[in-house]
A = this chain, B = another copy of it.
Amino acid sequence: MKLYNRPPKYTWKELCLRPQLQTEFLEGRVQTILSRVKKSGDAALRELTRQYDKVDIQKIQVSDDEPMDAEQQLPDKLKQAIRTAAQNIKTFHALQTREEQKTETTEGVTCWRKAVPIEKVGIYIPGGSAPLFSTVLMLGIPAQLAGCNEIILCTPPDQYGKINPAILFSAKEVGIKKIFKVGGAQAIAAMAYGTESIPQVYKIVGPGNQFVTKAKQLVTLEGTAIDLPAGPSEVLVLADAYANAAYVAADLLSQAEHGTDSQVILVTNEETLIKKVVQELETQVAKLPRKEIAIEALKNSRAIILSHPDTIGFINEYAPEHLIINTIDCDELVNKITNAGSVFVGSYSPESGGDYASGTNHTLPTNGCAKSYSGVSLDSFVKYITFQKITKTGIEKLGPTVVAMAEAECLQAHAEAVKIRMTNP
């Protein structure tokens, strides 16, 4: 870890920078993939899957018996864990439904707003070394709770044309029935445009590599909504003299193992803690199966010594995706956090609790986006429609206001639509 001892404020902006990914080169390649899928549908998907996933897929949709086979393959302990996590996620996200009152803003003018599920949504789950079945729960459960009518899932097949059984089982648990063996930018294209096999959706959610992220960005320009701008995962741990250095090190490592580009930051007011944490890191990392990745990520990580309240000032400037507050006064500090994705309060709250099973969502804003974006929630799967009903009395009362404003904006027809109702009721 690189050590920064009481860095002056003017250096914080630079300390908050994440490594810039060069993604310009991607645009042309991804645009080509999008165009191919738009033009040739399933045929393009089969070709691209052959090219990128090295497998021939005849039937793109997962058949009914595949999830059943998956259920039989999985150990009971894992199935139970998935069900427990699903229940907690459901409990937490169910609180996010809301009912708003109608209001009469002026006599005879009643306004209200209603959450309506997005009819068709697509979930993307990456393949690769780690089968992210937990993300199936994190995206599928709020989509189901919101009442989305059609929820589809795309994920790349392995070299045998199969989907990881834990992904299939998780999808079955949350009631996702349409699963497709397609990954990468071609999966995003398929969901944005529709193909013979894959229905078009209105919103695409889920993590992915740079190709997937670029494809998601590009389809938004054509009207498909997406969840979040995605970037490498990050954690910031705030710890004080009371923190257990072994816990702190374990938390830093749980982020560092994600990828060599993971962002890992320790902020503390206690200089002696850093030495202890570094020792613990060395001991713990040695035992990890993904230690090469973790060691590489730690090279870019930072330990920053700051006094209170600069600690909090820095955190809000950094706007971490995950924030662990491992301090004696954590309950007080929590109220001062204004920019973060998800916050883990106290010494028994590791990030991995929320990554899997506490109930909060793990799809969160990275790269400082927590300053303006929320993580995925029930809100990600609904849109709000506003309504107003104006009565004859209402138009009499409100009409003169509308007419005065419309005429001042030089929009006479706007004024006339009111006037005609007032003069010729």
Residues of A within 8 A of B (CB): 77-78, 80-82, 84-85, 87-88, 91-92, 95-96, 98, 100-101, 103, 105-106, 109, 111, 113, 116-119, 129-134, 166, 202-203, 217, 220-221, 223-225, 229, 244, 246-247, 250-251, 253-254, 256-258, 284, 287-290, 294, 330-331, 334, 337-361, 365, 367-375, 377, 379, 383-392, 394-395, 398, 400-402, 404-406, 408-418, 420-421, 424-425
Contact = CB atoms under 8 A, between A and B. Distances in A.
A404 B195 CA distance: 37
Contacts of A220: 229
30 contacts: A81-B404, A81-B408, A85-B401, A91-B105, A92-B103, A96-B113, A103-B359, A106-B357, A106-B359, A113-B377, A119-B338, A203-B372, A223-B369, A247-B421, A250-B421, A290-B410, A294-B413, A341-B386, A344-B388, A348-B392, A348-B395, A350-B395, A353-B395, A355-B406, A356-B406, A359-B388, A365-B383, A371-B383, A373-B383, A374-B384
Q: Is the interface of A mostly helix, strand, loop or mixed?
A: mixed
Given A111-B360, A118-B372, A350-B417, 11 more contacts: A92-B103, A134-B409, A166-B408, A166-B409, A225-B372, A247-B421, A288-B413, A345-B389, A348-B421, A356-B402, A370-B383
Nearest to A420: B250
Contact of A353 (B287, B352, B383, B388): B388
A414 B257 contact: yes
A390 B358 contact: yes
In the A-B complex, the 7 residue pairs with the closest CB atoms: A81-B404, A105-B359, A225-B372, A88-B105, A350-B417, A352-B414, A250-B417
A360 B373 contact: no
Contact of A84 (B91, B96, B101, B401): B401
